[in-house]
């Protein structure tokens, strides 16, 4: 292991790897990424990986839009597979969310996003397999879809290594060393890397690393379940991804005849949570899905998994330098919607770290101090997963 580096990144999820890559592209290659397990083994590898632009705030809507373009052209732009599949994405709102949905779409259109409010007749044309008869409002994004978190994460890491960066897996960071208000080193169980810059991108485990240097970030963890349904063969080739505000779940198709359903938000301990699915929930989920996609009746439950959302009080991330500790940065708290943002997170963090401020996108709304200042971002929906 190197014993000095200009920068150390803690965490080899999609965010750590994107930041490493984006710093390398901008010239900083004397850097080391430390991952305690394997790349993508945290929330990233468990993501439903839907890329939708439907947000309540311009900052995240724009980040999603610009990031989707990178995923779409990933081979050309970064140099590896992203597995981007364009399925279209539909927001299905009940009466209580209709006005909010329309306001969101108006804001997104102002940001240049390809989205619109649609009617049930429009849905019958683009997605005749969906039953939206109970919806009071509908919005459709034709360019949205899903991608492959593992491919994206490892592509970022491979390209960064080719440029000279180091990536070490199975190497857990035990602490960041601070002296006289400055980062001086990052410690692992057996080693110490001298550095003046450390980036905490350790997903659910970030809170502990930050509190180790006296920074209390408002992060907590909730468990989200992913249920795999196998569609009856030959009945339905695919369907769009969708966010169902009426029944509070999200869904997208996957490889051959598979539909994924994301559901549930319950407090969870980050090291002992149940990584499987609750069988007691499956019947209810199946009923909800069947109501929305009737042709799925006759399909079957094929298993599933659970992962962690690292949430903040407003369900939006913290992208910032840490006040009071020179050289310490954090990219944390991505809740259930960080996957789609990783290209812009990497670009913005690299600019913040190397140039003093993010210029690709203004990330001031995502500063850490917003919680103390009471200047939280607000979502127009009660269903936080679609923050
Ligand atoms: C079930 C589920 C569904 C989701 N669906 C979507 C979706 O449809 N669309 C979307 O945009 N987002 C979705 N998300 C959210 C998205 O996956 C996350 O926001 C994103 O993956 C966060 O990436 P990360 O790099 O911050 O964290 P992580 O992927 O958790 O990476 C952090 C890494 O840090 C490592 N680490 C921890 N502690 C240490 C240490 N001490 N030393 C070294 N390494 C350490 C961990 O092992 C881990 O690999 C979903 C998440 C889940 C769980």
pLDDT digits (tens, 9 = 90+) for 104-131: 999 999 999 999 999 999 999 999 999 9
The torsion defined by the Cα of 95, 97, 100 and 104, in degrees rounded to 10, comes to -110
Counted domains in the chain: 2
Q: Is the pLDDT of residue 185 over 80?
A: yes
Q: What is the mean pLDDT of residues 182-207?
A: 97
- Would you state the pLDDT for residue 254? 96
d(CA 220, CA 204): 8
The DSSP secondary-structure symbol of 231 reads: P
For 126-180, write each residue's pLDDT tens digit. Answer: 999 999 999 999 999 999 999 999 999 999 999 999 999 999 999 999 999 999 9
Assess whether 171 and 129 both reside in one domain. Answer: no
**Residue 235 within any structural domain of the chain:** yes
For the chain, give the mean pLDDT.
96
Q: Is the pLDDT of residue 387 over 90?
A: no
- Would you state the pLDDT for residue 255? 86
Number of H helices, E strands in the chain: 10, 20
**Residue 224 within any structural domain of the chain:** yes
- Catalogue the E-assigned strands of the chain: 7-10, 31-34, 50-51, 85-86, 89-93, 116-118, 137-141, 145-146, 166-168, 173-179, 182-188, 192-194, 198-200, 220-230, 241-244, 249-254, 258-267, 300-311, 318-321, 328-332
- Would you state the pLDDT for residue 212? 98
- Would you state the pLDDT for residue 384? 77
**Residue 59 within any structural domain of the chain:** no
d(CA 52, CA 47): 14
Mutate to test the pocket of ligand 1, among 47, 141, 177 (most ligand atoms within 8 A of CB): 47
- Would you state the pLDDT for residue 191? 96
Per-residue confidence band for 320, with pLDDT thresholds at 50, 70 and 90: very high
Measured from CB, residues less than 6 Å from any atom of ligand 1 are: 10-16, 34-37, 41-44, 46-50, 172-173, 201-205, 209, 224, 226, 262, 307-309, 334, 336-340
State in Å: Cα 339 to ligand 1 middle. Answer: 8
CATH of the domain at 260: 3.30.9.10
Q: Is the pLDDT of residue 93 over 90?
A: yes
**Residue 321 within any structural domain of the chain:** yes
Mutate to test the pocket of ligand 1, among 16, 42, 385 (most ligand atoms within 8 A of CB): 42
Among 291, 311, 331, the domain boundary falls at 311
Q: Is the pLDDT of residue 98 over 80?
A: yes
The torsion defined by the Cα of 107, 243, 139 and 311, in degrees rounded to 10, comes to 0
d(CA 321, CA 303): 41
Atom of ligand 1 minimally distant from the CA of 50? 8
- Would you state the pLDDT for residue 383? 80
137, two tokens: 């409002």
State in Å: Cα 343 to ligand 1 middle. Answer: 14
In this structure, of 68-72, 155-159, 207-211, 233-237, the range with the lowest mean pLDDT score is 233-237
State in Å: Cα 134 to ligand 1 middle. Answer: 34
The pTM (predicted TM-score) of the whole model is: 0.98
- Would you state the pLDDT for residue 130? 98
State in Å: Cα 225 to ligand 1 middle. Answer: 14
What domain range includes position 235?
Answer: 91-142+220-311
Assess whether 333 and 357 both reside in one domain. Answer: yes
Per-residue confidence band for 263, with pLDDT thresholds at 50, 70 and 90: very high
pLDDT > 90: what percent of the chain? 95
């Amino acid at each position: 292991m190197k014993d000095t580096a200009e920068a150390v990144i803690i965490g080899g999820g999609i965010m750590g790897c994107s930041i490493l890559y984006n710093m390398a592209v901008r010239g900083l290659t004397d850097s080391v990424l430390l991952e305690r397990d394997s790349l993508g083994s945290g929330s990233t590898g468990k993501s439903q990986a839907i890329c939708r632009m439907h947000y309540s705030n311009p900052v995240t809507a724009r980040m999603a839009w610009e990031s989707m373009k990178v995923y779409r052209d990933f081979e050309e732009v970064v140099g590896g597979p992203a597995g981007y599949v364009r399925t279209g994405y539909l927001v299905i709102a009940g009466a209580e969310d209709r006005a909010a949905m329309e306001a969101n779409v108006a804001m997104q259109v102002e940001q240049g996003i390809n989205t619109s409010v649609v009617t049930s007749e429009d849905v019958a044309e683009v997605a005749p397999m969906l039953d939206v008869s109970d919806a009071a409002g509908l919005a459709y994004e034709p360019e949205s879809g899903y991608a492959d978190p593992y491919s994206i994460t490892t592509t970022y890491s491979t390209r960064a290594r080719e440029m000279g960066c180091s990536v070490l897996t199975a190497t857990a960071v035990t602490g960041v060393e601070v002296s006289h208000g400055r980062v001086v080193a990052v410690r692992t169980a057996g080693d110490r890397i001298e550095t003046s810059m450390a980036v905490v991108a350790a997903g659910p485990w970030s809170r502990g690393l930050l509190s180790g240097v006296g920074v209390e970030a408002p992060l907590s963890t909730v468990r989200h379940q992913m249920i795999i349904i196998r569609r009856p063969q030959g009945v339905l080739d695919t369907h769009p991804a969708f966010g169902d505000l009426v029944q509070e779940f999200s869904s997208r198709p996957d490889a051959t005849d598979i539909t994924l359903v994301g559901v549930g938000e319950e407090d969870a301990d980050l090291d002992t949570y149940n990584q499987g699915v609750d069988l007691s929930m499956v019947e209810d989920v199946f009923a909800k899905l069947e109501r929305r996609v009737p042709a799925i009746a006759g399909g079957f439950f094929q298993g599933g998994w659970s992962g962690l959302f690292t949430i903040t009080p407003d369900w939006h991330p913290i992208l910032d330098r840490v006040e009071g500790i020179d050289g310490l940065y954090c990219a944390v708290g991505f809740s259930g919607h960080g996957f789609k943002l990783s290209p812009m997170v990497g670009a913005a963090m690299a600019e913040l770290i190397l140039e003093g401020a993010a210029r690709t996108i203004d990330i001031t709304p995502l500063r850490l101090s917003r919680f103390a200042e009471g200047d939280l971002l607000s979502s127009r929906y009660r269903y936080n997963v679609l923050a």
